[in-house]
Amino acid sequence: MEIGGLPVSPPDSAPPAIQPADATQPGARPYLRIYFRCAGTYARAYLHPDGTRYLAQCAKCGQTCKFVIGEGGTNQRFFEMSCT
């Protein structure tokens, strides 16, 4: 599995609905935006209830990837995955 970063800011043509959730908003659920190259689709990986990780699963092949939250990590919210 290969994971690559995408630009932090989505293109201007991206609809506002795909922006990462602002954790300061009441009821907001933080997520990462993942582009699955093998499926050619975007998906959201929501923060796990225990607050330690995000999980993403490819809609085409079912491959799962865990994004662990920890010291020395990244503040990037957009990622690209290749399951092949």
| 27 touches 71 (CB < 8 A) | no
Q: Is residue 64 part of a domain?
A: yes
Q: Is residue 80 part of a domain?
A: yes
Q: Report pLDDT for 14.
A: 43
pLDDT in tens, the chain (84 residues): 555 554 444 444 444 443 444 555 667 889 999 999 989 999 999 999 999 999 999 989 888 889 999 888 888 899 998 877
| Total count of domains within the chain | 1
What is the span of the domain harbouring residue 63? 1-6+49-84
Q: Is residue 54 part of a domain?
A: yes
Q: Is residue 24 part of a domain?
A: no
| 34 touches 80 (CB < 8 A) | yes
Q: Is residue 61 part of a domain?
A: yes
Return the SS3 of 72. Answer: coil
- What are the residues whose beta carbons fall under 8 Å from the beta carbon of 43, sequence distance 6 or more? 33, 34, 36, 56, 57, 58, 59
| 20 touches 10 (CB < 8 A) | no
